[in-house]
């Protein structure tokens, strides 16, 4: 919730900072020259207005830097609904986390009949109920 409010303030501050930077007078006349001012931005905004815009630009820039640091260092919650689960194993270990794998018992191999000392076993024993 708070992070969303910080992002909203951050975006609004970015737009205001862009606006103030474009309004400032430069050697080429700035944005005022693009609208036909021809370098005469002092006549439209006035000299003291340009000084105030410079101060507001500094305030917006400082707020931009502070908000950037706050958002970057804000403690984020770990997301658990990831498609690819993360593990503590190093990259390339090849083992997926054990918690997401189901244990499947290995197929039992057929056991050989014990060999007794008597008669040899028939090669193809007949099924029960049939005679040879």
List the Cα angle 31/36/37 in 5-degree steps: 70
- pLDDT 10s digit of each residue in the chain, 132 long? 899 999 999 999 999 999 999 988 765 655 665 666 555 545 556 666 678 888 999 999 999 999 999 999 988 776 666 676 666 656 655 555 555 556 666 666 666 666 666 666 566 666 666 655
pLDDT at 62: 96
* Each residue's pLDDT tens digit, 78-100: 666 667 666 665 665 555 555 55
- Please tell me the distance from the alpha carbon of residue 71 to that of residue 67, in angstroms, as a whole number: 6
């Amino acid at each position: 919730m708070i992070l969303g409010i910080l992002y909203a303030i951050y975006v609004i501050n970015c737009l205001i900072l862009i606006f103030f930077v474009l309004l400032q007078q430069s050697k080429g006349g700035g944005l005022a020259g693009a609208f036909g001012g021809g370098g005469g931005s002092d006549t439209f905004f006035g000299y003291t207005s340009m000084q105030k815009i410079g101060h507001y630009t500094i305030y917006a820039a400082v707020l931009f830097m502070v908000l950037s640091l706050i958002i970057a260092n804000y403690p984020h919650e770990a997301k658990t609904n990831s498609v690819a689960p993360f593990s503590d194993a190093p990259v390339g270990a090849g083992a997926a986390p054990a918690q997401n794998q189901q244990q499947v018992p290995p197929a039992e191999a057929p056991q050989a009949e014990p060999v007794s000392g008597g008669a040899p076993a028939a090669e193809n024993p007949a099924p029960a109920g049939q005679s040879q």
